[in-house]
Amino acid sequence: MCKSAVTSLDACTPTSTAACEICFNEAVYGVPGYLRDALDLDPDGDWVDVPRTAVVRPDNGTLAHPPAIIYSPGHGGEAWSESAGHAALSTQWPEAVVIYLEASRLVDHDGQWRAASSPQLGDPDWSPRFPHFEAASDHTDLAYLEQVLDEAQSLFSYDEQRLYATGHSSGGFFTLSLMEFMPERFRAFAMLGAYADYGRDGYGDTPVVVARGKSPQARPVLSIMGLCDATFPWSPGASTCGSPFPAPADRVHETVRQLTARAGAFVPGQDDRAYLDQLVAGAQSGGMGSTSFAPAKTHGRAVDIRVYPGGHSWPAVADFWVVDYFRSHDQALSSGPDPIFERGWAVPALMSAVMP
């Protein structure tokens, strides 16, 4: 039996109507002894059962096959506290199943065992944090996610073509990774406080699916950024929120170029940064700056960018933005067959437009 991480919650059943827990053991090979001690795991044997958990807020039962959202929290975020802090994802879309995930406590974001000296030992953090071939390993949260989705589908019969993914900070990077590793499972993505300037930190520029010879599939993307993000400043090394605003906002501009290239949307040129002024002006004057990059190809998808006058934290209003965004794509189903799941989008040639 899995050792429940949230003793105040009942295990999910097909008749659950309140927040409940999905809990299972994940068999992991070769866990170092210091990690077994730190996490109170079985000290013996090559394989060890590692408890994994997710918290679910069920749908209201009005639909036989409801839509579903997965939420991946930032570093250190635990499923139960995140489900309370982001209950609006459920209350604003009561017809949807909302699944709050919790990352592994065993590995760093590059898939390597957490070091014994790490000050973050025992904190949940996502792997892979970046969707790159070099960072891929056998120790990732992808198998955990697949099992959570399978368990939730068997319990709540969500519509597998109406599954959406969102995340914050490290969980936002994990959401970006899902766009590369398993886009076919999701209808649209949204992330906050995560940036796709992949080459900046030495992870390389080639998406893992391209490196493995697989064509990515384009999906609609909403990227939300804080104007005064001190964790990931718009221009690395610059002050985070001044007047005039620090130029050239390299991190944001490269993120937009990477996302639009992957989605098959119009890619702004290296020196085409006028839209950044629009985003900043909107956030400074009206509380939100927004712009959209339309599809450039038949099977491309739009990329939406929003900027708010805050830092790295997830503002409460972002729950509403994300739900509205997902609902807008969900409503497209009522107008007839949607080609989004019918074919992939071959991006390697397009990616050359934004790669150095």
Task: Give the mean pLDDT of the chain.
Answer: 82
Q: What HEC string does the chain produce?
A: CCCCCCCCCCECCCCCCCCEEEEEEEEEECCCHHHHHHCCCCCCCCEEEEEEEEEEECCCCCCCCCCEEEEECCCCCCHHHHHHHCCHHHHCCCCCEEEECCCCCCECCCCCECCCCCCCCCCCCCCCCCCEHHHCCCCCCHHHHHHHHHHHHHHHCCCCCCEEEEEECHHHHHHHHHHHHCHHHCCEEEEECCCCCHHHHCCCCCEHHHHCCCCCCCCCEEEEEECCCCCCCCCCCCCCCCCCCCCCCHHHHHHHHHHHHHHCECCCCCCCCHHHHHHHHHHHHHCCEEEEECECCCCCCCEEEEEECCCCCCCHHHHHHHHHHHHHHHHHHHHCCCHHHCCCCCCHHHHCCCCC
pLDDT at position 192 is 96
Q: What percent of the chain clears pLDDT 90, i.e. is strictly above it?
A: 41
The confidence score (pLDDT) of residue 341 equals: 43
Say which range, 5-14, 62-71, 169-178, 263-272, has the weakest mean pLDDT.
5-14
CB 237 within 8 A of CB 213: no
- Kindly tell me if the per-residue pLDDT of 350 is higher than 50: no
Q: What is the pLDDT of residues 46-58, one digit of tens each?
A: 888 888 999 999 9
Lowest mean pLDDT segment, chosen from 18-27, 130-139, 205-214:
205-214
Q: What is the pLDDT of residue 258?
A: 84
Residue, of 63 and 139, whose pLDDT is higher: 63
Is residue 46 domain-resident? no
pLDDT category at 159 given cuts 50, 70, 90 is very high
pLDDT tens digits for range 295-327: 987 788 999 999 998 889 999 899 999 999 999
**What are the tens digits of pLDDT across the range 267-302?**
898 889 899 988 988 888 878 899 999 998 778 899
- Evaluate whether residue 328 is within a structural domain: yes
| Residue 14, domain member (yes or no) | no
Rounded to an integer, the average pLDDT of 24-40 is 88
What per-residue string of b and e applies to 117-148 under the rule 16 or more CB within 10 Å gives b?
eeeeeeebbbbbbbbbeebbeebbbeebbeeb
Domain around 269: 55-351
CA 72/CA 345 separation, integer angstroms:
25
In-domain check, residue 19: no
Beta pairing, strands 20-29 & 47-57? antiparallel
124 within a domain of the structure (yes/no)? yes
Whether 245 is covered by a domain: the verdict is yes
- In the chain, the percentage of residues whose pLDDT exceeds 70 is 78
Could you report the per-residue pLDDT of 171-204, keeping only the tens digit for each? 999 998 888 788 889 999 999 999 886 655 444 4
Question: Binning pLDDT at 50, 70 and 90, where does residue 345 land?
Answer: very low
Please say if the pLDDT value at position 252 is more than 90: no
Query: What pTM does this model have?
Result: 0.88
Total of domains in the chain: 1
Rounded mean pLDDT, 208-214: 52
Q: How far is 140 from 198, CA to CA, in rounded Å?
A: 19
Give the per-residue pLDDT at 53. Answer: 93
Q: Is residue 207 part of a domain?
A: yes
Task: Assess if residue 62 is contained within a domain.
Answer: yes
CATH of the domain at 216: 3.40.50.1820
State the Cα–Cα distance between residues 60 and 69, nearest whole angstrom: 14
Q: What pLDDT shows up at residue 202? A: 47
